[in-house]
Structure 1
Amino acid sequence: MAQLDPTEALAQAQRLGARTQRSARWLARYYVIFGIASMLIALGFGLLRGRTWALVLSGVWLVLVLGISLYSSRQQTMVRGGGRIHAGVMAAWTVIWVITVTVGASNDLPWPWWLAGGVGMLASPLVGAWVVLRRTEAAQ
C-alpha cells in the first residue's frame, strides 16, 4: 500500500466528508414529500366525506408512507444530528395530526379546518427540511 502525503490524505478526507454531507440531503426531500402529502391527505378528508373516501385516502396514505419508508431505508448517509431532527419533526407532526383529526372528526368540521391542520402538518417537515439543508450547505 502506497503512503499518501499527509496533505493529500487530509484533502481526500475533506472531499469525502463534503460528498457525504451532500448525499444526506435526501432527508430534506423526504420531509418535503411527507409534508405536502400530509397537507393533501388532510384536505382530502375535509373535502371527501364518507366511509369509502376514508378508506381510499387511508390506502393512498399507506402506499405513500411505505414508498417513502422504502426510499429512506435505501439511503446510506444521514445528516449530523439526523435522529434528533427526525424525532422533533415527527413529534410536532404527530401532535398537529392528533389535534386535526380528533377535533375535526369529532365535530364534523368543514374543509377549512382540515386545510389549516394540513398546513400545520406541512410546517414541521418544512422546518426539518430547512434544518437539514442548513447543515449540509457547507458541503457545496
Structure 2
Amino acid sequence: MHGFTDAEVALGRVADVEKAARARSGWYARYLWAFAAGQLVLVPIAVLWHGFASALAFGFVNTALVTGLSLYAARQRVVRRGFGVKHGVIVGIWAAVFVLAVTFGNTAFANSPAFAAAAALTCALPLATGAWLEMRRSS
C-alpha cells in the first residue's frame, strides 16, 4: 500500500505544477497583445513616412518595443511545452504579413492612410489571434 500512496503524492505534485504553469503562462498572451499594439504604431510609420526621419522614428520605436518585450519575456519563469514552435509560427506569419504590407504600402499604396490603417490591423491580427488562443489555453 505504501507504493500507492507515494504514487498518489507524486501525481498530486504533478497536478499542482501543471496548475501553476497554466496560471503563470498568461504572460505570453500579454506579450503578444503588446506586440500587436506596437504594430498599430510601427506599420503606419513604415508606410506613410519617408526619409531619414521615418527611419529614425521606426528604428527608435521598434528598438524600444523589442527591448521591452525581450526583457519582459526573459523575466518569466514558466514556458510551456511547445512554446518555441508556437512562437515561431506566430512570429513567422507576422513577419510575412509585415513584409508584404510594407512592400505594397511603399510601392502600390504610397501615402495612403486607409491602406496604412488596414495594414496595421492586418499585421496585428496574427499576434492578437495568438494572444487570444493563449488566453483560452492558460485559463
Structure 1 length-normalised TM: 0.83
**1:104 match:** 105
What does residue range 51-66 of structure 1 map to in structure 2 within 5 Å?
51-66=52-67
Identity within the alignment, %: 26
Unmatched tracts of structure 2, length 5 or more: none
Q: Amino acid of the residue matched to residue 58 of structure 1?
A: G
What CA distance in whole angstroms lies between the structure 1 residues aligned with 2:44 and 2:68? 21
Q: Amino acid of the residue matched to residue 131 of structure 1?
A: L
Contact kept in structure 2, 1:27 and 1:129, CA below 8 Å: yes
Q: Which runs of 4+ in 1 moved over 6 A?
A: none
**2:17 match:** 16
1:58 shift after superposition: 2.1
**1:127 match:** 129
**2:80 match:** 79
* Count of residue pairs brought into register by the alignment: 135
1:44 shift after superposition: 3.5
Contact kept in structure 1, 2:90 and 2:126, CA below 8 Å: yes
Structure 2 length-normalised TM: 0.84
3-state SS, counterpart of residue 76 of structure 1: coil
1:116 shift after superposition: 0.9
**1:115 match:** 117
CA-atom RMSD in angstroms: 2.2
